[in-house]
Amino acid sequence: MNRILGSCILLAGCFTGFAQSEVRLLSPENGATIYAPHPHLGWQKEAGADIEDRYRVQVSRDESFQTLVIDDSLEVVSRLVCAKPLPPGTYFWRVRREDQKQWSKVFSFTRGKSKEHRIKKGATTQEIAAVLTEAAANTPAKVVFEQGDYHITDMIPLRKVKDLIIDGNGSTLTLKDRFLDLKNCADITVCNMTVTPARQASTNVDVLEVDPNAGSLTVQVKPGFPEDFRSYFPAGKSGNTIMRVVDEKHRGRALAGWGSGGKRMEELGNRRYRIHGLEARGVKKIRPGMVAYAKTYRGGFGKTTYVTRITLSKVNFMGMGGTIWLGGGGETEAKSCLSCAFLPLSPEYYTGASGVIGGGRIGSWYEDCRFEMGADDNTMDHMFPLPVANIQDNVATLKYPWPWPQDIHKGDTFVLWDCMNGEKGRTTRVTVLEVQDADGKPMVIKELDFQAPKRLVLSKNMAELNRELGRAEDASFLSPGKTNRELNSMLLIRLSHNNRDFVFRRNNVLGGSSGMLNNTTRALVSENSFKNLRGNAVTAGFCSGPKEFPLEGCGSRDYVIRDNTMENCGRNSIVVRSDSGFGANVIIKNNTIRYSADWAPWNSIGVAGDIKGVVVKDNLFQSASPPERGGWIYSRENDYAVQHSNNRFDPPHPNVPMLIEKNSN
């Protein structure tokens, strides 16, 4: 298992053609001047590197590396985001593999000074917008708030801005909606502030009466909490609201929960409401005297569309309803959250902010953050398939609109997935020879001027594709209608670079729906604490959609999950999923997975789908009750064996196997 990467090196974006022992520094380029206080350092590993090989990264104020400001090591990924801000000045950096003595060449970069623009205490939204607009037009720039409280009533748009720092200087921003609307921007840093919503994102209720036979629940809004219960749980309407009954012993765990869609509500007076249309199996878990909360997903911090390298540093988000950054319908990559907190307004509330949704060629980076009672799944990096409107000769026309247009480059590899009949079909791989606009003109993706590709010149023509998909050579690729959830078309799913080099380390996650879900090429999840989650702590390969279509995600490749503590997290603490064999090379090692006496797991680790190279080793499983599905590790619909070694469980449960495999072969 020491070299499971094998042929996946090219797939993960590695280059070849240099010496076996050479590590090549890529960015920032030697002698570059940058202005972001948290630089992104990237390097190219040697040919043949394994995903478990660790690399040491050093950054120093002097060329002899006597004054180190960073001395770090990490595996799998080939980049580092500096978690602590670097003051202006010149820095030197180098990288080497831990088991070798030879360092890379030494590169230098200068962290330049930005011109400061001040926001006066008590400034209105319009005055704040004026300062931000002026600074954005004269970058590199740094906007500094005078310490105080500010009320933001409207989103502030910024377009084609690079090298902008927004420093709250310890201020509190209260948002009526969101703060920033960013499009075609790069190297934006927001730091040193507390952010709260003008309207609380949730309200608490006491459970008064329970009727499982009628599927009804009677609740009363607790004194001191928002009394407009209907706005937090508008029965009959779907989406954007939910109600959950709280397990107060295990803060964060939900005993039962419902969305508002399809429900009926009676208003009984004195802040009391009776809700009808609830599932009996959920209602049976509830007793009078329990506490529930109703919440809305509306609101957040900002909106990002086609934004690269955006960083949140030392920002406290208190009681936010939705995700911090709303994706905005475009490719958004290399987001960072460093030493941030996503918390409820107070311990009495059960809704904190959710993390950032990412999606692009470069993944998100989370380090030293606190997540408590996340409003939804705490963090998520998506991978979306691209529906194909038609293929003629060897040119694929993409089917828009679609949530996230992708940054596609010449040489990228995709899987073409036949879903023309409304069912998952066969697949074949293709390479992009050229990216074109709607008129067939070649396109080059630009960082501050992103335009969504419309046509792709493929490495195979219609006849070749049809043969490989088991269709008649002259079969049409024309898909009917516009994009919809039936997805009766061909799908293109990117293999080359998908949220590459995702890192989630040294974070604390307490309560909420799930810890983190993503689809990535190269990911490191290490040294985190997850506790009392309704869902899984880690989902390496998030797949969701109608029937079996992956509207969101198809799997992850080259993924290390190590040295984490997971306590009372869902029915499985770790889930590895993949559709049609897109996932591969997942190592789960040195984790402690613990369940209390009243929280029996299905399994500690679940594997679903064709995933080659899953290794589970050196983990400790602690559970008072044996796993309900019979084994600590459960693998299904997987043609490949899961390798496991030196895993331990405490206390012992006789006749409980370490692994149960229900394979598709």
Phi, psi of 652 (to 5 degrees): -70, 145
**Helix boundaries (H) for 408-507:** 462-468
**Mean pLDDT (whole number) for 627-644:** 91
Q: Please give the helix or strand (H or E) that residue 329 lies within, else none.
A: none
Q: Are residues 145 and 288 in the same domain?
A: no
Q: Please report whether residue 1 resides in a domain.
A: no
How confident is the model at residue 435, as a pLDDT? Answer: 96
Pairing of strands 24-27, 648-650: unpaired
Res. 14: pLDDT tops 50: no
Q: Return the top range by mean pLDDT from 191-205, 228-242, 476-490.
A: 191-205
Burial of 654 per CB tally in 10 Å (0-12, 13-18, 19+): exposed
Res. 422: pLDDT tops 80: no
- Percentage of the chain modeled with pLDDT above 70: 93
Cα distances from 380 to residues 59, 309, 342, 414, 500, in angstroms, run: 30, 16, 14, 22, 13
Q: Are residues 195 and 312 in the same domain?
A: yes
Give the Cα separation of 506 and 527 in Å (integer): 5
Cα distances from 404 to residues 179, 306, 307, 333, 424, in angstroms, run: 22, 10, 12, 11, 22
> Band of the pLDDT at 664, cuts 50, 70, 90?
low
Phi, psi of 226 (to 5 degrees): -55, 130
For residue 580, give both structure tokens: 């049609």
Apex 304 CA angle, 449 and 155, nearest 5: 115
> Band of the pLDDT at 308, cuts 50, 70, 90?
very high
Res. 309: pLDDT tops 50: yes
Q: Please give the helix or strand (H or E) that residue 256 lies within, else none.
A: strand 254-259
Q: Are residues 532 and 650 in the same domain?
A: yes
Last residue of some domain: 352, 376, 400? Answer: 376
Residue 287 CA to its chain's centroid (Å):
35
Q: Tens of pLDDT along 112-121?
A: 999 999 999 9
Q: Please report whether residue 166 resides in a domain.
A: yes
Res. 240: pLDDT tops 80: no
Q: Please give the helix or strand (H or E) that residue 320 lies within, else none.
A: none
Q: Please report whether residue 107 resides in a domain.
A: yes
Res. 85: pLDDT tops 90: yes
How confident is the model at residue 7, as a pLDDT? Answer: 34
Q: Are residues 517 and 533 in the same domain?
A: yes
Res. 74: pLDDT tops 60: yes
**Mean pLDDT (whole number) for 598-607:** 89
* CATH number of the domain that residue 163 is part of: 2.160.20.10
Q: Are residues 516 and 617 in the same domain?
A: yes
If one counts the domains in the chain, the total is 5
Q: Are residues 563 and 609 in the same domain?
A: yes
Q: Return the top range by mean pLDDT from 104-118, 297-311, 381-395, 630-644.
A: 104-118
Pairing of strands 659-662, 633-636: parallel
Q: Are residues 489 and 536 in the same domain?
A: no
> Band of the pLDDT at 3, cuts 50, 70, 90?
very low
**Mean pLDDT (whole number) for 145-161:** 98
> Band of the pLDDT at 552, cuts 50, 70, 90?
low
How confident is the model at residue 4, as a pLDDT? Answer: 35
DSSP 641: P
How confident is the model at residue 600, as a pLDDT? Answer: 80
Last residue of some domain: 461, 494, 527? Answer: 494
With beta carbons less than 8 A apart as the criterion, state whether 302 and 324 touch: yes
Q: Are residues 462 and 565 in the same domain?
A: no
Q: Tens of pLDDT along 458-480?
A: 999 999 999 999 999 999 999 87
Last residue of some domain: 330, 355, 376? Answer: 376
How confident is the model at residue 20, as a pLDDT? Answer: 52
How confident is the model at residue 637, as a pLDDT? Answer: 87
Q: Please report whether residue 2 resides in a domain.
A: no
- Percentage of the chain modeled with pLDDT above 90: 68
* CATH number of the domain that residue 106 is part of: 2.60.40.10
Q: Are residues 147 and 174 in the same domain?
A: yes
Adjacent-strand bridge partners of 272: 220, 269
Window from 32-41, 321-330, 410-419, 533-542 with minimum mean pLDDT = 321-330
In the predicted model, what is the mean pLDDT of the chain? 90
User: 2 vs 83, which has greater pLDDT?
Assistant: 83
Q: Return the top range by mean pLDDT from 133-137, 411-415, 517-521.
A: 133-137
Residue 522 CA to its chain's centroid (Å):
13
How confident is the model at residue 406, as a pLDDT? Answer: 86
With beta carbons less than 8 A apart as the criterion, state whether 93 and 57 touch: yes
Res. 96: pLDDT tops 90: yes
Peptide bond into 288 cis (omega under 30): no
For residue 457, give both structure tokens: 């010149």
With beta carbons less than 8 A apart as the criterion, state whether 341 and 374 touch: no
SS3 at position 54: strand
How confident is the model at residue 22, as a pLDDT? Answer: 84
Give the Cα separation of 278 and 349 in Å (integer): 23
Window from 188-202, 212-226, 376-390, 530-544 with minimum mean pLDDT = 376-390
3-state helix, strand, coil in the chain (%, to 5): 5, 45, 50
Map 104-160 to HEC letters: CCCEEEEECCCEEEEECCCCCHHHHHHHHHHHHCCCCEEEEECCCEEEECCCEEEEC
Give the Cα separation of 587 and 5 in Å (integer): 11
Q: Are residues 32 and 66 in the same domain?
A: yes
Cα distances from 299 to residues 149, 155, 380, in angstroms, run: 19, 11, 17
Q: What is the DSSP string of 165-219?
A: EEEEEEEEEEESS-SEEEES-EEEEEEEEEEEESS-SEEEEEEEEEETTTTEEEE
Res. 601: pLDDT tops 60: yes
Of 541, 583, 554, 423, which is closest to residue 489 (Cα–Cα)?
Answer: 423
Q: Please report whether residue 550 resides in a domain.
A: yes
Residue 553 CA to its chain's centroid (Å):
11
Q: Please report whether residue 381 resides in a domain.
A: no
**Mean pLDDT (whole number) for 237-241:** 77
Q: Please report whether residue 414 resides in a domain.
A: yes
Q: Are residues 579 and 638 in the same domain?
A: yes
Q: Are residues 486 and 393 in the same domain?
A: yes
Q: Please report whether residue 259 resides in a domain.
A: yes
Q: Where in the sequence is the domain holding 356, given as residue range(s)?
A: 115-199+299-376
Res. 440: pLDDT tops 80: yes
Classify residue 79 as left (phi > 0), alpha (psi -120 to 50) or beta: beta
Classify residue 368 as left (phi > 0), alpha (psi -120 to 50) or beta: left
How confident is the model at residue 368, as a pLDDT? Answer: 98
Sheet holding 89-97, edge to edge: 32-34, 107-111, 89-97, 54-60, 68-75
**Mean pLDDT (whole number) for 83-94:** 98
Cβ contacts of 137 within 8 Å, gap of 6 or more: none
How confident is the model at residue 134, as a pLDDT? Answer: 98
